Amino acid sequence: MSAETFSFKSEARQLLNLMIHSLYSTKDIFLRELISNASDALDKRRFEALTDPALLNGEPLRVRVRGAGEGEYGGTLVISDNGVGMSREELIQNLGTIAHSGTKEFLAKVKESKERGEQREVDSLIGQFGVGFYSSFIVAHTVEVVSRRAGSAEAWLWRSQGDGEFTLEPASRDEVGTTITLHLRAPNEEDGLEDFSKEWTLRATIKRYSDFVQYPVELWASASKPVMGDEAGDEAGDEAGDEAGDAKGAPERVWLWEQVNSMKAIWARDPAEVTDAEYNELYKHISKDWTPPADRLRFKVEGGMEFTALLFVPSRRPHDLFYREQKFGLQLYANRVLIKESAEELLPPWLRFMKGVVESPDISLNVSREMLQQDRHVRVIKKQVISKTLKHLSETLKERRDAYVDIWKNFGEVLKESSVDYESADKAKALFLFKSSAQEGFTTLDEYIERMKEGQEHIYYATGESVAAIERSPHLEAFKDKGVEVLYLDQPIDEWLVGNLMNYNDKELRSVSKGAVDLGTEEERKKAEEEREEAQKDAADLLERLKAPLSEHVKEVRLSSRLTSSPACLVVDEHAASPQMQRLMEQMGDKVPKQKRILELNPKHALFERLKGALGGEDAESAGRYAQLLYGQALIAEGSPVSDPAAFTEALTALMVGR
């Protein structure tokens, strides 16, 4: 059968094009990517063999790296593994399209940078994202992949020059696994392209990026000939002597497979010995996020159930944080065998941004991935992960506020989801940060409570689309006037949040736009309420006349105690859903009965006096216009759309022409 030709899917083509023309300076990352893929493939084979031992046959799993052709160029680099391999279909699917979702974001960012003419930005993006298999083309002009799927006797050769097409043809491979041959571009000092066929370059690169990989990464390396025996094996025997020392007395050189990585599981090593760089490499490996993490925590639980955890908080928000199908979870190991790549059973949804590894000798190797949730040990681990993480975040908040604020900015919206987790909500609430009228930056609820005025009973908040919009809202006037702090809740999730938060440390959370305002001491409140009621009685007639034309939208028109400078605003009853919440529910497809609100007028405003004068007569038409204007204005002031723009403009025009 001759070779069949296929086209890359368009995104893969864009990506390849970028790799080929990349000036990206850290070119050696391609090797990390390929070793990482190989290690994943070994995990998969080992995992499949748990249920079908014949798939492994006791074969030792490993990755092999071999450079050849030093000297005049024609250098190659071969990376082979005896992992799970790929079938013909898998080769087409995995190496012809773009599998990982991060690449979409990557390409979008690249486009942005290109439009701004920032080539250097494009280059650094390649490093930040890590682009998997395709990064081979940073260093290779031609790539060949021979692969044989576990459980199959067939092998296939995939070949491409990264130019938009690849070919597939039958091949042979003695064992299961994948061999990737990179035909290297000529080294070029100016471009920072090293010679990746050289042993020492390869050794350093493997050490740098792949030391913790859980399988031996073996390098075809030269060594002094051992005095006894031939440890180099058959293959070494063939080539031994190539580089034999020629000086008299110098030891003879032989070639052999040498394990280069230490394979030490970082989470099992003495913390004093692990460097930040090593932690960061592990993080990159498991998270596929190429920016170093913002924070990490490591702990061990002993006595009874035993496990070790190494957890990371990313330093940037992944683009799919709010996708419903987003995969999340921690890597779960049992005695160095990866049981599940992302075990979401170990994290609550509100910690889904966390990355990391959990290893426990108590987890059975045969536990089915579907059954993890029912596993008693897994449930214990999850509980501990939650409590240790909350404790760690709380310490970060206390001791390294700036770092915590950054974490909050990225993941606060997710952490807020904990408010429905009754087991954790109390502790988690203490970690919530809010913007507020009292100060720049963020405040916690505890800090708010400390600043509460004497006699203040509740925690007040205002919701809106942005801080600027909230600050303009008339609902805040009385609070500003009395110097009472108001939390500014400006995220879409906040409407939902306050519905669940209800109270904190026995203090009720109250919206500034709901119910009646009750600021000041008890005496002051009583007096203000009496005055308001008195004035309300006096104005009863006027208020009724204003209400009639608005009856479709408004259930009551009353005098306000929350306004100082605005003439009017709209409020809802204390326990009713806010208009933002209503909109949110409508957007989510819920049928919500239309709720009428309350129009409040400011009795101290000059406009109120004018109204009294203007509507003293029996003129129903002008009462209607005033009502439309007041209502429309109140909507505009809170940032809502005017519900009947035609009626509003007509009333406005009429007023302007003095009718």
Which residues contribute to the site for ligand ADP (CB under 6 A)?
33, 37-38, 41, 81, 83-86, 94-95, 99-100, 132-134, 178, 288
CB atoms closer than 10 angstroms to residue 20: 16
Distance set, CA 420 to CA 261, 348, 499, 501, 612 (Å): 45, 11, 10, 8, 49
Going by C-alpha positions, the residue among 345, 349, 267, 373 that lies closest to residue 312 is 267
Nearer to ligand ADP, 163 or 341 (CB): 341
Distance set, CA 61 to CA 38, 49, 77, 171, 627 (Å): 10, 12, 20, 22, 79
Whole-number Å distance between alpha carbons of 12 and 209? 25
Nearer to ligand ADP, 85 or 314 (CB): 85
Closest approach, Cβ 122 to ligand ADP, in A, equals: 19
Q: Are strands 459-463 and 355-359 parallel, antiparallel or unpaired?
A: unpaired
Closest approach, Cβ 90 to ligand ADP, in A, equals: 7
Closest approach, Cβ 481 to ligand ADP, in A, equals: 57
Closest approach, Cβ 592 to ligand ADP, in A, equals: 42
Closest approach, Cβ 84 to ligand ADP, in A, equals: 6
Nearer to ligand ADP, 8 or 648 (CB): 8
Whole-number Å distance between alpha carbons of 374 and 280? 32
Nearer to ligand ADP, 141 or 288 (CB): 288
Going by C-alpha positions, the residue among 256, 262, 300 that lies closest to residue 281 is 262
Closest approach, Cβ 144 to ligand ADP, in A, equals: 13
Nearer to ligand ADP, 85 or 356 (CB): 85
Closest approach, Cβ 64 to ligand ADP, in A, equals: 12
Q: What backbone phi and psi angles, to 5 degrees, belong to 250?
A: -70, 145
Nearer to ligand ADP, 140 or 563 (CB): 140
Closest approach, Cβ 88 to ligand ADP, in A, equals: 13
Residue 188 CB burial class (10 angstroms; 0-12, 13-18, ≥19): exposed
Closest approach, Cβ 248 to ligand ADP, in A, equals: 45
The three-state secondary structure class of 188 is strand
Nearer to ligand ADP, 38 or 462 (CB): 38
106-129 burial code (b ≥16 CB/10 A, e <16): bbebbeebeeeeeeeebbebbbeb
Whole-number Å distance between alpha carbons of 230 and 323? 56
Dump the DSSP string for 445-468: HHHHHHHPPTT--SEEEEE-SSHH
Going by C-alpha positions, the residue among 565, 641, 551, 626 that lies closest to residue 596 is 551
Distance set, CA 369 to CA 55, 373, 385 (Å): 19, 8, 19
Nearer to ligand ADP, 166 or 488 (CB): 166
Nearer to ligand ADP, 144 or 195 (CB): 144
Closest approach, Cβ 418 to ligand ADP, in A, equals: 30
Distance set, CA 364 to CA 14, 389, 578 (Å): 44, 25, 50
Nearer to ligand ADP, 16 or 559 (CB): 16
Nearer to ligand ADP, 102 or 520 (CB): 102
Question: In degrees to the nearest 10, what's the CA dihedral of 49, 50, 51, 52?
Answer: 30
8 A C-beta contact, residue 230 and residue 191 = no
Q: Helices 540-547 and 606-614: crossing angle, nearest 10°?
A: 80
Kindly state the DSSP code that residue 194 receives in the 8-state scheme. -
Please list, in sequence order, all residues whose beta carbon lies within 8 angstroms of the beta carbon of residue 489, skipping any fewer than 6 positions away: 434, 461, 462, 463, 464, 470, 495, 497, 498
Kindly state the DSSP code that residue 185 receives in the 8-state scheme. P
Q: If DSSP states are collapsed to H, E and C, what string results for 76-109?
A: EEEEEECCCCCCHHHHHHHHHCCCCCHHHHHHHH
Nearer to ligand ADP, 89 or 609 (CB): 89
Whole-number Å distance between alpha carbons of 379 and 373? 7
Whole-number Å distance between alpha carbons of 388 and 369? 25
Closest approach, Cβ 38 to ligand ADP, in A, equals: 5
Closest approach, Cβ 102 to ligand ADP, in A, equals: 8
Q: Are strands 486-489 and 459-463 parallel, antiparallel or unpaired?
A: parallel
Nearer to ligand ADP, 86 or 240 (CB): 86
Closest approach, Cβ 196 to ligand ADP, in A, equals: 17
Q: Which residues pair with 296 in a beta bridge?
A: 312
Nearer to ligand ADP, 83 or 474 (CB): 83
- Identity (one letter) of the amino acid at 426? D
194: tokens are 């090293």
Q: What backbone phi and psi angles, to 5 degrees, belong to 470?
A: -65, -45
Closest approach, Cβ 100 to ligand ADP, in A, equals: 4
* Nearest-CB residue for ligand ADP: 132
Closest approach, Cβ 41 to ligand ADP, in A, equals: 3
Q: Which helix (H) or strand (E) holds 357?
A: strand 355-359
Nearer to ligand ADP, 17 or 622 (CB): 17
Closest approach, Cβ 391 to ligand ADP, in A, equals: 33
Nearer to ligand ADP, 132 or 318 (CB): 132
